[in-house]
Structure 1
Amino acid sequence: MPKTAVFAGTFDPPTSGHLDIIRRSRRLFSKTIVAVGVNPEKEPLFTQQERVNLLKKLVGKEPSVEVEAYVGLTMDYVRSRKADVIVKGIRDSDDLRNELRQANVNMIAGDVETVFLFTTDTTALISSTLIRQICELGGLESANMNRLIPPLVIEALRRKLGVSRKPSVRKRRRAVKV
């Protein structure tokens, strides 16, 4: 029986952890809808449409993945899409505790199952909040950022924050020798 899953979040910005959950969900369900929401308690760096556009560029061409914006309660959106499952990425015990409560509410309110996908070792510590904090502290040009977020997101952050790309140490040395 085909199943449609919704992976909802703010994705501000999309991270390697988000992409890992999307790709794994795609293998489990006949369709995965990446639902980009608005959280009134958060002040986003990227607009909702910018986040949708980034995700479409990152995963929109993958088979059985759709990316859409939504406003309002996630459960209302899930019902409107006639989805069977909500997918949640779990990084740690705090995530699990919070998501278990929400999963129980979702089951009671909408008879929708929640499937937890645990993050891999390489993505367990990544969060959009962490990425924004690193950027605020000037760490966007860190050599390790490409392990946390895709190059497309790094470029979008550079444009959004007005950060120009710094030449690497190797390039600077060559420039001095010439």
Structure 2
Amino acid sequence: MISIYISYYFNSIIVPNYFFFHLKLKYLSSSSMRLYENPQNSAFILKVHFRLTAISIEQIYFFASNLPSWSLETQLFKSSLPVQMFLQSKLKEKMNTPLDAFWIGLMDSQTEGRWFWVDGSPLDPSLRFWYKGEPNNSAGTNPAGEDCVMMVKTENIKDLNNWVDHSCHVQIKSVCEKPAEM
């Protein structure tokens, strides 16, 4: 039996939010394999037919685009969607404008410089993706400083170092992760 991991996102029609599913497919050995040539662009297409035996959802990510504040996001997701780690590349794909951003569920509101996820687990020191000069705890938008972390996309960021600390009271999109329960 072979396992394949794929990802899929669903754009909700009712509310402008995204659900991103990381799926695991299991199938028995392939039953047929064919190579086709596409006459329009001379590309080759490989079609594999197989018998699917199981589908499991490994993780579910929720991209909220209704701009909750940090405290509202924490109330909405802390109990049911604990934030652990997120898919950096997929999150960047969801960002539409150069200054688009997402809350990622990381904060140092208890002790400055000690970062914790909303479920209480500490930030793994090897998982730092800070943008140059961050975190800086600037008092520009809030005299109390910046205690919450957002992931931003700007024109000059070409890698994954795109975390910035910011005031928790700013309303931007958010992302949460929940282990799938089947």
Structure 2 length as normaliser, TM-score?
0.23
Structure with max Cα Rg: 2
Relative to total residues, which structure has the larger strand share, 1 or 2? 2
Structure 1 length as normaliser, TM-score?
0.23
